[in-house]
Amino acid sequence: MAENKSTSANTQQQKASNGLSSLAMIVIPVAFAVSFILWKFILGAGGNFEGGINQEGSKPINLLGTVYKGGIVVPFLITFLLTVVTFTIERLLTIAKAKGSGNISAFVRNIKFQLESGNVAAAKAACDKQKGSVANVVRAALDKYTEMESDTHLSRDQKVLAIQKEVEEATSLELPMLEKNLTIIATIASIATLGGLFGTVLGMIRSFTAMSAAGAPDASALSTGISEALINTALGIFTSGLSIVMYNYFTSSVDDLNYAIEEVGFTITQTFASKH
C-alpha cells in the first residue's frame, strides 16, 4: 500500500514536470508572436515617426517609436516580459487556490485547538471547509490518525511513523504543483538583463558605424542612437526586476505553505503519541 502511494507521488511529480514543459511550449511561442506583431505593427507604425513614415533614418516622435528603434532584440525582450506576466498570473491563481478559502494561520490554529480538545471530527470538518493544498495534506493525516486509533496490531511508535509517512506522501503530491513554472521565472530573471545589454551593444555598434561612415561626428545623431540603444537595457532591467520580485514572492509563499504543513503534521503526530 505504501509502495503504491510512493509510486503515485512520483507519478504526480513527473506529471507536474511534464505540465511545466507543455505549458511553456505554448506560452513562449505565443508570447513571441504577440511581441513581434506589437513591435512591427504598433511600435513601428508610421504615426510614431517624423513625416508619418517608418523607414531607415526616420526619427521617432514618441516613446513607442523610440522603443521600436531599439532593434530586433526588442521583441525578444517583450517576449520575456509577457512570459513573466503570464506565469505570474498563473502562479498567483494556483497559490491562492492552494491556500484555500480562509486564512492559513487561523486554519492551523483551529486544527491544533481541535486536536488538543480531542475533536478529530471537527478538525476534519475544518479541512473540508478550508480546502486547498494544506487542508488536503492535513485531511489525509487526520484520516490516517483515525485509522491508527482503531488499529490493534501496530505499536504506538509504528502508528506515529505511519502518520508521519502519510503527511510526507500527501505533501509530495501537493508541493510539485506549487513549485511548477518557478524555474522559468528564475531563468528569465537571469537572462533578461543580458538580453537588454546585448541589444544595447548592437545599437551602439550600429550608431558608431553610421557615424564613422558619415564622416564628421554628429553629436545629436550620436546621442539619439545611444538613447535608442539604451531602450534595450531599460526593458531588460525592468523585466529582470519584475522576475526577481515575483520569484522571491512565490518561493516565500510556497515556504509558508510548507511550514504550515510541517507545523500541523508535527502537531498531529505529537497529539497521537501523547494520547495513545
Q: Quote the pLDDT of residue 17.
A: 45
Higher pLDDT, 179 or 85: 85
Higher pLDDT, 13 or 36: 36
Rounded to an integer, what distance in angstroms lies between the CA atom of residue 132 and that of residue 63?
Answer: 45
> Nearest 10 degrees: CA dihedral of 122, 124, 125, 131?
140
Quote the DSSP letter at residue 102: S
CA 170 to chain centre: 22
Cell numbers of 124, please?
476534519
Q: Quote the pLDDT of residue 223.
A: 63
H-type helices in the chain, by residue range? Answer: 2-37, 63-68, 73-99, 104-116, 120-130, 132-150, 156-179, 182-214, 219-275
* pTM for the structure as a whole: 0.82
Candidates 274, 276, 261, 275; CA nearest to 111 is 261
Q: What percent of the chain has pLDDT over 70?
A: 87
Q: Which residues contact 5 (CB under 8 A, 6 or more apart)?
A: 169
pLDDT tens-digit series, residues 112-128: 999 888 899 999 999 99
CA 275 to chain centre: 42
> Nearest 10 degrees: CA dihedral of 150, 152, 154, 155?
100
Mean predicted confidence (pLDDT) in 34-57: 90
> How far, in Å, are 23, 54, 171, 202 from residue 228 at the CA level?
34, 15, 50, 11
Confirm if 86 and 27 have CB atoms less than 8 A apart. Answer: yes
Check residue 119 and give left, alpha or beta (phi > 0: left; psi -120 to 50: alpha). Answer: beta
pLDDT tens-digit series, residues 218-266: 665 666 667 777 889 999 999 999 999 999 999 999 999 999 888 888 9
Domain containing 238 equals 2-275
Q: Quote the pLDDT of residue 15.
A: 47
Confirm if 249 and 243 have CB atoms less than 8 A apart. Answer: no
Rounded to an integer, what distance in angstroms lies between the CA atom of residue 122 and that of residue 183?
Answer: 39
> Nearest 10 degrees: CA dihedral of 64, 67, 69, 74?
-130
pLDDT tens-digit series, residues 56-73: 777 888 889 888 988 889
Q: What percent of the chain has pLDDT over 90?
A: 43
pLDDT tens-digit series, residues 68-108: 988 889 999 999 999 999 999 999 999 998 888 888 889 99
Cell numbers of 176, please?
510539485
Confirm if 124 and 142 have CB atoms less than 8 A apart. Answer: yes
Number of domains in the chain: 1
In a 13 Å sphere around the CA of 186, the CA atoms on its Cβ side amount to 9
